[in-house]
Protein backbone atom coordinates (compact mmCIF):
# COMPACT_ATOMS: atom_id res chain seq x y z
CA UNK A 1 0.00 0.00 0.00
CA UNK A 2 3.01 2.27 0.52
CA UNK A 3 3.41 2.35 -3.28
CA UNK A 4 0.07 4.08 -3.64
CA UNK A 5 1.30 7.03 -1.64
CA UNK A 6 0.29 7.32 1.97
CA UNK A 7 0.55 11.10 1.67
CA UNK A 8 -2.68 11.03 -0.37
CA UNK A 9 -5.74 11.22 1.88
CA UNK A 10 -7.54 7.90 1.79
CA UNK A 11 -10.01 5.67 3.57
CA UNK A 12 -9.97 1.91 4.07
CA UNK A 13 -12.76 -0.67 4.17
CA UNK A 14 -12.55 -4.15 5.65
CA UNK A 15 -15.01 -6.85 6.71
CA UNK A 16 -15.35 -10.52 7.57
CA UNK A 17 -12.19 -11.01 9.60
CA UNK A 18 -14.00 -13.43 11.89
CA UNK A 19 -11.36 -12.95 14.58
CA UNK A 20 -11.27 -15.79 17.08
CA UNK A 21 -8.77 -17.48 19.37
CA UNK A 22 -8.48 -20.54 17.13
CA UNK A 23 -6.99 -18.48 14.26
CA UNK A 24 -4.26 -16.44 15.95
CA UNK A 25 -2.47 -15.62 12.65
CA UNK A 26 -5.43 -13.52 11.54
CA UNK A 27 -5.52 -11.59 14.79
CA UNK A 28 -1.82 -10.81 14.52
CA UNK A 29 -2.24 -9.77 10.86
CA UNK A 30 -5.07 -7.47 11.90
CA UNK A 31 -2.97 -5.94 14.69
CA UNK A 32 -0.15 -5.28 12.21
CA UNK A 33 -2.67 -3.86 9.73
CA UNK A 34 -3.88 -1.41 12.39
CA UNK A 35 -0.35 -0.35 13.32
CA UNK A 36 1.21 -0.08 9.87
CA UNK A 37 -1.53 0.43 7.28
CA UNK A 38 -4.73 1.73 8.87
CA UNK A 39 -2.81 4.38 10.81
CA UNK A 40 -2.03 6.12 7.49
CA UNK A 41 -5.72 6.39 6.60
CA UNK A 42 -8.15 9.17 7.44
CA UNK A 43 -10.91 6.67 8.09
CA UNK A 44 -11.24 2.97 8.65
CA UNK A 45 -14.62 1.39 8.01
CA UNK A 46 -15.15 -2.05 9.53
CA UNK A 47 -18.20 -3.45 7.75
CA UNK A 48 -19.11 -6.25 10.12
CA UNK A 49 -18.02 -9.70 11.24
CA UNK A 50 -14.85 -8.38 12.79
CA UNK A 51 -15.34 -11.16 15.32
CA UNK A 52 -16.41 -14.76 14.77
CA UNK A 53 -18.99 -14.06 17.45
CA UNK A 54 -19.70 -11.43 20.09
CA UNK A 55 -21.61 -12.50 23.18
CA UNK A 56 -22.00 -9.02 24.63
CA UNK A 57 -19.94 -6.00 25.62
CA UNK A 58 -19.31 -7.51 29.07
CA UNK A 59 -16.82 -9.75 27.20
CA UNK A 60 -14.63 -6.73 26.35
CA UNK A 61 -12.02 -7.56 28.94
CA UNK A 62 -11.49 -11.16 27.88
CA UNK A 63 -7.78 -11.50 27.13
CA UNK A 64 -8.48 -12.44 23.48
CA UNK A 65 -10.50 -9.27 23.01
CA UNK A 66 -8.57 -6.81 25.17
CA UNK A 67 -5.54 -6.75 22.85
CA UNK A 68 -7.76 -6.09 19.81
CA UNK A 69 -9.84 -3.43 21.58
CA UNK A 70 -6.74 -1.62 22.77
CA UNK A 71 -5.16 -1.69 19.29
CA UNK A 72 -8.29 -0.14 17.76
CA UNK A 73 -8.28 2.45 20.54
CA UNK A 74 -4.64 3.29 19.79
CA UNK A 75 -5.58 3.74 16.14
CA UNK A 76 -8.51 6.05 16.87
CA UNK A 77 -6.41 8.03 19.36
CA UNK A 78 -3.75 8.47 16.67
CA UNK A 79 -6.24 10.34 14.46
CA UNK A 80 -7.76 7.68 12.19
CA UNK A 81 -11.53 7.77 12.55
CA UNK A 82 -12.94 4.26 12.98
CA UNK A 83 -16.48 3.30 12.00
CA UNK A 84 -18.24 0.01 12.59
CA UNK A 85 -21.31 -1.63 11.04
CA UNK A 86 -22.67 -4.78 12.66
CA UNK A 87 -22.23 -8.13 10.97
CA UNK A 88 -24.40 -11.18 11.48
CA UNK A 89 -21.77 -12.57 13.88
CA UNK A 90 -21.10 -9.50 15.98
CA UNK A 91 -24.46 -7.72 15.96
CA UNK A 92 -24.34 -7.54 19.77
CA UNK A 93 -21.46 -5.08 19.72
CA UNK A 94 -22.71 -2.07 21.64
CA UNK A 95 -21.87 1.32 23.05
CA UNK A 96 -19.33 -0.03 25.56
CA UNK A 97 -17.34 -1.47 22.67
CA UNK A 98 -17.67 1.88 20.90
CA UNK A 99 -16.41 3.76 23.95
CA UNK A 100 -13.53 1.33 24.53
CA UNK A 101 -12.33 1.45 20.91
CA UNK A 102 -13.25 5.01 19.95
CA UNK A 103 -15.17 3.54 17.01
CA UNK A 104 -18.45 5.05 15.93
CA UNK A 105 -21.29 2.58 15.36
CA UNK A 106 -23.18 3.22 12.13
CA UNK A 107 -26.56 1.84 11.13
CA UNK A 108 -26.81 -0.69 8.33
CA UNK A 109 -26.90 0.59 5.61
CA UNK A 110 -25.30 4.01 5.94
CA UNK A 111 -24.30 6.66 3.44
CA UNK A 112 -20.99 8.47 3.52
CA UNK A 113 -19.48 11.13 1.29
CA UNK A 114 -15.81 10.61 0.56
CA UNK A 115 -13.56 12.31 -2.00
CA UNK A 116 -16.52 13.62 -3.96
CA UNK A 117 -18.31 10.27 -4.11
CA UNK A 118 -21.58 9.26 -2.49
CA UNK A 119 -21.05 5.82 -1.01
CA UNK A 120 -23.41 3.37 0.62
CA UNK A 121 -21.94 0.89 3.08
CA UNK A 122 -23.46 -2.21 4.63
CA UNK A 123 -22.55 -5.61 6.01
CA UNK A 124 -24.66 -7.19 3.28
CA UNK A 125 -26.57 -9.96 5.07
CA UNK A 126 -29.87 -8.10 4.81
CA UNK A 127 -29.66 -8.42 1.02
CA UNK A 128 -29.57 -12.22 1.09
CA UNK A 129 -33.34 -12.29 0.83
CA UNK A 130 -33.48 -15.71 -0.86
CA UNK A 131 -32.47 -17.18 2.48
CA UNK A 132 -35.82 -16.72 4.18
CA UNK A 133 -34.89 -18.81 7.23
CA UNK A 134 -31.90 -16.57 7.89
CA UNK A 135 -33.95 -13.40 7.38
CA UNK A 136 -36.50 -14.62 9.95
CA UNK A 137 -33.66 -15.33 12.39
CA UNK A 138 -32.13 -11.92 11.67
CA UNK A 139 -35.41 -10.14 12.36
CA UNK A 140 -35.69 -11.98 15.67
CA UNK A 141 -32.16 -11.38 16.98
CA UNK A 142 -32.03 -7.74 15.85
CA UNK A 143 -35.11 -6.86 17.93
CA UNK A 144 -34.35 -4.89 21.11
CA UNK A 145 -36.60 -7.26 23.13
CA UNK A 146 -34.69 -10.37 22.05
CA UNK A 147 -31.35 -8.67 22.71
CA UNK A 148 -32.41 -7.43 26.14
CA UNK A 149 -33.54 -10.92 27.10
CA UNK A 150 -30.43 -12.60 25.67
CA UNK A 151 -28.07 -10.18 27.41
CA UNK A 152 -29.83 -10.77 30.74
CA UNK A 153 -28.33 -14.29 30.84
CA UNK A 154 -24.85 -14.93 32.26
CA UNK A 155 -21.98 -14.55 29.77
CA UNK A 156 -21.09 -18.24 29.96
CA UNK A 157 -24.67 -19.28 29.15
CA UNK A 158 -24.75 -16.87 26.20
CA UNK A 159 -21.51 -18.29 24.83
CA UNK A 160 -22.88 -21.83 25.13
CA UNK A 161 -26.03 -20.83 23.26
CA UNK A 162 -24.03 -19.10 20.54
CA UNK A 163 -21.97 -22.27 20.07
CA UNK A 164 -25.20 -24.23 19.51
CA UNK A 165 -26.40 -21.62 16.99
CA UNK A 166 -23.05 -21.68 15.19
CA UNK A 167 -23.14 -25.45 14.79
CA UNK A 168 -26.73 -25.28 13.53
CA UNK A 169 -25.79 -22.58 11.05
CA UNK A 170 -22.80 -24.59 9.78
CA UNK A 171 -25.06 -27.61 9.24
CA UNK A 172 -27.69 -25.54 7.48
CA UNK A 173 -25.13 -23.84 5.27
CA UNK A 174 -23.99 -27.18 3.88
CA UNK A 175 -27.57 -27.78 2.72
CA UNK A 176 -28.06 -24.37 1.15
CA UNK A 177 -27.17 -23.62 -2.44
CA UNK A 178 -24.55 -20.97 -3.19
CA UNK A 179 -27.19 -18.86 -4.92
CA UNK A 180 -29.37 -18.74 -1.81
CA UNK A 181 -26.44 -17.45 0.24
CA UNK A 182 -25.57 -14.65 -2.19
CA UNK A 183 -27.25 -11.25 -2.32
CA UNK A 184 -30.51 -11.03 -4.22
CA UNK A 185 -30.13 -8.80 -7.30
CA UNK A 186 -33.63 -7.33 -6.97
CA UNK A 187 -32.94 -6.47 -3.32
CA UNK A 188 -29.71 -4.73 -4.35
CA UNK A 189 -31.51 -2.71 -7.02
CA UNK A 190 -34.33 -1.77 -4.64
CA UNK A 191 -31.78 -0.54 -2.09
CA UNK A 192 -29.84 1.49 -4.67
CA UNK A 193 -33.09 3.04 -5.87
CA UNK A 194 -34.21 3.79 -2.30
CA UNK A 195 -30.91 5.57 -1.64
CA UNK A 196 -31.10 7.63 -4.84
CA UNK A 197 -28.35 5.76 -6.72
CA UNK A 198 -25.08 6.10 -4.80
CA UNK A 199 -22.02 5.82 -7.05
CA UNK A 200 -20.53 3.12 -4.88
CA UNK A 201 -22.04 0.43 -2.72
CA UNK A 202 -19.50 -1.41 -0.55
CA UNK A 203 -20.37 -4.47 1.52
CA UNK A 204 -19.03 -7.79 2.74
CA UNK A 205 -20.68 -10.90 4.16
CA UNK A 206 -20.81 -13.15 1.11
CA UNK A 207 -17.02 -13.73 1.05
CA UNK A 208 -17.12 -13.30 -2.73
CA UNK A 209 -14.88 -10.31 -3.43
CA UNK A 210 -15.83 -8.74 -6.71
CA UNK A 211 -16.83 -5.52 -8.46
CA UNK A 212 -20.25 -5.50 -10.08
CA UNK A 213 -21.20 -2.72 -12.50
CA UNK A 214 -24.90 -2.01 -12.31
CA UNK A 215 -26.92 0.09 -14.74
CA UNK A 216 -30.12 1.16 -13.08
CA UNK A 217 -32.72 3.72 -14.18
CA UNK A 218 -30.10 5.58 -16.21
CA UNK A 219 -27.55 5.60 -13.37
CA UNK A 220 -24.30 3.73 -13.05
CA UNK A 221 -23.52 2.16 -9.67
CA UNK A 222 -20.61 0.00 -8.65
CA UNK A 223 -21.21 -2.70 -6.05
CA UNK A 224 -17.94 -3.73 -4.46
CA UNK A 225 -17.88 -6.89 -2.35
CA UNK A 226 -15.04 -7.05 0.17
CA UNK A 227 -13.00 -10.19 0.67
CA UNK A 228 -12.73 -12.10 3.92
CA UNK A 229 -9.63 -12.74 6.04
CA UNK A 230 -9.16 -16.50 5.68
CA UNK A 231 -6.35 -17.31 3.23
CA UNK A 232 -5.11 -13.71 3.37
CA UNK A 233 -6.28 -10.34 4.57
CA UNK A 234 -8.20 -8.08 2.25
CA UNK A 235 -8.72 -4.34 2.25
CA UNK A 236 -10.25 -1.77 -0.07
CA UNK A 237 -8.63 1.64 -0.34
CA UNK A 238 -10.48 4.67 -1.63
CA UNK A 239 -8.93 8.04 -2.45
CA UNK A 240 -9.66 10.87 -4.86
CA UNK A 241 -7.95 8.96 -7.66
CA UNK A 242 -9.86 5.73 -7.38
CA UNK A 243 -10.37 2.38 -5.72
CA UNK A 244 -7.67 -0.16 -5.00
CA UNK A 245 -7.77 -3.68 -3.63
CA UNK A 246 -5.00 -4.65 -1.28
CA UNK A 247 -4.18 -8.17 -0.14
CA UNK A 248 -2.62 -8.46 3.30
CA UNK A 249 -0.41 -11.46 3.84
CA UNK A 250 -0.36 -13.27 7.17
MN1 LIG B 1 -21.41 -12.00 7.63
Q: What is the per-residue pLDDT for 3? A: 52
Cα of 206 vs centre of ligand 1, distance in Å, is 7
Count Cα neighbours of 172 within 13 Å in the Cβ-side half-sphere.
13
Q: State in Å: Cα 236 to ligand 1 middle.
A: 17
User: Distance, CA 232 to ligand 1 centroid (Å)?
Assistant: 17
Distance in Å, CA 155 to ligand 1 centroid: 22
The predicted-structure confidence for 119-132, as pLDDT tens digits, reads as follows 999 999 999 999 99
Residue 209: its pLDDT value, please? 95
Give me ligand 1 centre to Cα 18, in Å. Answer: 9
Give the per-residue pLDDT at 225.
Answer: 97
CA distance 214 to 9: 27
- Beta-strand pair 242-248/233-239: antiparallel
Cα-to-centroid distance, 226 and ligand 1 (Å): 11
Rg of the chain in Å (alpha carbons)? 18
Mean per-residue pLDDT, 142-159: 97
Every domain of the chain and the residues it spans: 10-248
With a pLDDT cut of 90, the percent of the chain lying above it is 88
Ligand 1 mean position, distance from CA 6 (Å): 30
Indicate whether 167 pLDDT > 80: yes
Distance CA 129, CA 207 (A): 16
Is the pLDDT confidence value at 105 over 60?
A: yes
65 CA from centroid of ligand 1 (Å) = 19
**pLDDT tens per residue, range 207-246:** 999 999 999 999 999 999 999 999 899 999 999 999 999 8
Tens digit of each residue's pLDDT (9 = 90 or more) over 63-88? 999 999 999 999 999 999 999 999 99
Q: What percent of the chain has pLDDT over 70?
A: 98
CATH homologous superfamily, domain 10-248: Metallo-dependent phosphatases (3.60.21.10)
Q: What is the pLDDT of residue 178?
A: 81
**Secondary element (H or E) of residue 219:** strand 219-225
Judge residue 3's burial from the number of C-beta atoms within 10 Å of its C-beta, 0-12 exposed, 13-18 middle, 19 or more buried: exposed
Q: Report d(CA 144, CA 159) in Å as an integer.
A: 19
The band of 2, judged by pLDDT with boundaries at 50, 70 and 90, is very low
The arrangement of strands across the sheet holding 10-14 comes to 104-106, 81-85, 43-46, 10-14, 233-239, 242-248
Residues 4-51: pLDDT tens digits? 667 799 999 999 999 999 999 999 999 999 999 999 999 999 999 999
**Is-above-0.75 flag for pTM?**
yes
Amino acid sequence: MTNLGNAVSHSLFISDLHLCASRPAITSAFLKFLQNIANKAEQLFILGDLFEYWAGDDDLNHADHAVIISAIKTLSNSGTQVFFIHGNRDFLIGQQFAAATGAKLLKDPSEVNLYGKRIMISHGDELCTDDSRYQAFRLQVRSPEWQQDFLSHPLSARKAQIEVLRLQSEQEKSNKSLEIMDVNEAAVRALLRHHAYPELFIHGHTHRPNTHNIEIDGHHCQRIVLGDWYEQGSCLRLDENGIYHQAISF
